[in-house]
Structure formats: structure tokens, C-alpha cells
Amino acid sequence: MNRSLERVSYMTGGKESPGSTGNKREKKRKPGAGKARPRKDKQRAAKDAVPNARRAMLIINPVAGTGEAVEIWEDLQETLRHLGLDFDYHFTEHGGHAVEIARVAAKKRYGIVAVVGGDGTVCEAVNGLMSVGRESRPRLGVIPTGRGSDFCRTVDIPRDWRTAASLLVSGRHRAIDVGWMEYRTTDGIETGYFINIAGLGFDGEVMERSNKLPEKLTRVVGGIGAYALSLVVTFARYHEKDMELNVDGEEHRVLATTVIIANCRHFGGRMCVAPEAEPDDSLFDVVVIGAGFGSPALECASGQAPPTHSRIERGVARLKMARNIPRVFKGTHLRDESIMVTRCSKVKVSSDDRILLQADGDVIGEGPFAAKVIPGALEIIA
């Protein structure tokens, strides 16, 4: 293993950790070089009270995408030091590890938690940050190295890692909404947070298949290619679901392939599934993608069987759905009659059928699903 992987910080309070940039380097600098120091007594007292307030904790996922984080790590460290960023770092070692790293960093009052990874790692970090009160919550930065990095597309964080790194010292930041969610797993009912997009049905099954593709194949076709390949295979086998939606208290029954709860616009590697979504408007964009039989809304009462369709009707519907796939990448699919869009602050989705749930690119459970917007919950560096 690369030696850099062994230099992991363990956040040992005020002591220098193995993964820290350390203070020794700072002492070698000439007076006036490096970071600006507070001159007023109040500023100095504030910094002493929260010693990590000017520091960043980097969370590096070494397996995100095709391992880009490991490839750039030495150069990234040098770049961040050149920019004057004081930072510690952790490499993630297993799924869910970023949650704990971010939680501990927030409790230690780091000023910034920066993810070097993809959407899944960002989502984990958000869950860690949301475990503390807003007054203690660090700002979130992202240096994207994942296959899709779709969250960054909406909030204008550059894909180039050097440019994204420079944002960490730019002083730029904005408040965005976070989605709280409740869903089912094999262990029972769970709760958590998402920052980009949650999807149920076809979307979840595509993500599950995409995440299981061999690494060698993913390296060849890339993140977008892996998603597209999984989409085609899943599309050939998938059947629509009869779902119940509760949107801000208003009940809907739909026959749909997918229900998207969007805080941001993109998922699946550049697919602009919710082109009008804004991450700071205190609302979700709920995009219901029907099965090609016209409007996904059903008029029949709850408990009644949905309308049946002949083989010819199903064949025509499949062609309509296939025609819409390239439109999703452009964000022009919303004009199709088989798609319904609504905005809300709270939503519930349930079905007698099994509906897989993906949140920010990872399959985490299944319905029934409930979500609500937490307005302006997180400051991001963008």
C-alpha cells in the first residue's frame, strides 16, 4: 500500500497527529509568512477558546471512483500547504467511516470538513455534521474524485481538484438545504440525511447494479458509462410500481417507474433529472417518472387494481420511455406527458411492491420512505 495511506490522523486533541500538517512547519517560517494571525485581544481569545476553528479536517476516500484520491494525494497535500491551509486528515477504511470522522471533527469544532471523494462520501460526511447543533457545524468543502460527483455540478464546485482545493481558502460559502429521511432496512426503520437526490424504484435498482459492476469494467467505461450500462440492463427487466405519494399532506396515487426527491439537479453522472431544483429554496422537487402510459397519476381509488395494458400498449410505452432516456441528460424530459413534477417541503412514498431506495448514489434501503427539508442547514464552500 502507498505509504501515504499509512499516515492517518487520529485526532488526538491538541497534540500533533500522524496525519497532521503539524505546527513544526509553521515555526520554520519567517515572521509575517504563512497565515495571518489575529491581532485584537477578542480575536485571540476567540481562537484560544476554539483552537480548531481555523483548521480543516480532510476526509479522503481512497476507493472513490477509480482511486483518484490516492493518485493525487501527495500533490494535493503540497497544494493545500502552498495555499496556507492548516489541516488534518483521515483516510476512510470502510463504509460509514466518513460519518464518524465528520462527527468527531464537528465536536472538536474544526472550521472546515472537506471531502476528497464522491457523492457517497459527501453524504456520509453530511450525516456526521448534522449530528451536532448548527452553531457547532463546520463548513463543508468538496474536492471531487468520485465517478459522478453530481452534487458538485449543481453547486458549482469545479471537477478539477486544484481549482476545488483553492476554494477551501477563498472565503466563499453559501447556506443550502439538507433532506432528512426515514426508510426501512433489514434492521428496521432508520433515519438519516441526504444532500443531493434520493430516488425510489427503477433509480434504486440501477444504482444497485451500477455499484456491483466489476472495477475493471468501471475503469474502462467510466462513471457515466457504468451508470448507462446498468440503466439499459435494468430497463429491459423492470416493471412499473403502484405507489402512494403524500406531498405536503396532499395524497396522490401513481403508476411510476421512479420517484425522485431532489434537493439538487443531477445524478447518475450528468443526468439532469430535476433541472429546476435549487438547493437553497427550502423545497424538494419531486419528479415522478411514469411508465409511458400517459400521466402517472391514477384516478382509481386506493385498494383498486390499476388499469391493465395489452402487449402492444406495453411495447409502445417502452419505446416512449427509451426515447426519454437521452432527454434526461439534457434536462428536457419534463415536457413529456409521462412525467409529473411537484414541489414540497415534506413527502412520503409507499407501495405494496418492493421499492429500493438510493440516496446520493448509494443504495441504503427501501420504502416506505418519508423526507422533509431542513432549510439552510449546512454551509458549503462553493
User: Residue 41: what pLDDT?
Assistant: 53
Whether 221 and 266 map to the same domain: the answer is yes
- Does any domain span residue 127? yes
Is the peptide bond prior to 51 cis by the omega test (within 30 degrees of 0)? no
Among 142, 172, 202, identify where a domain stops. 172
Same domain? 120 vs 153: yes
Quote the pLDDT of residue 358: 92
pLDDT at residue 65, rounded to an integer? 74
Residues 140 and 285 in one domain: no
Is the domain of 106 the same as that of 254? no
Are residues 129 and 252 both part of a single domain? no
**Domain assignment of residue 381, yes or no:** no
Burial 98-107 (b: 16+ CB within 10 A, else e): bbbbbbbbbe
Task: Give 201's strand partners.
Answer: 258
Pick the last residue of a domain from 152, 172, 192. 172
The dihedral over CA atoms of 273, 278, 280, 285, expressed in degrees to the nearest 10, equals -60
- 330 & 259 share domain: yes
pTM recorded for the entire structure: 0.81
- Do 283 and 143 reside in the same domain of the chain? no
Q: Are residues 209 and 326 in the same domain?
A: yes
Inter-CA distances, 242 with 144, 288, 342, Å? 37, 12, 18
- In which domain, by residue range, is 203 found? 181-376
The string of pLDDT tens digits covering residues 258-269 is 999 999 999 877
Sequence letter at residue 153? R
Predicted pLDDT of residue 8? 34
pLDDT the model gives residue 16: 34
How does pLDDT run across 131-147, given as a tens digit for each residue?
999 999 999 999 999 87
pLDDT given for residue 22 in this prediction: 41
Instruction: Decide if 382 is inside a domain.
Output: no
Q: Is 37 a domain residue?
A: yes
Relative orientation angle of helices 202-211 and 215-237, to the nearest 10 degrees: 150
Q: How far apart are CA 365 and CA 195, in angstroms?
A: 17
Last residue of a domain, which of 113, 148, 172? 172
Q: How many domains does the chain have?
A: 2
Strands 56-60 and 87-91: parallel
| H-run or E-run covering 340 | strand 339-344
Q: How far apart are CA 264 and CA 41, in angstroms?
A: 42
Same domain, residue pair 163 and 251: no
Q: What would the DSSP string read from start to end of 172-234?
A: --EEEEEEEEEEEETTEEEEEEESSEEEEEHHHHHHHHHHTS-HHHHHHHHHHHHHHHHHHHH
In a domain, 166, yes or no: yes
Distances (CA, A) of 178 to 232, 276, 287, 320: 31, 17, 18, 34
Sites in the chain below the pLDDT cut of 50: 1-40, 46-47
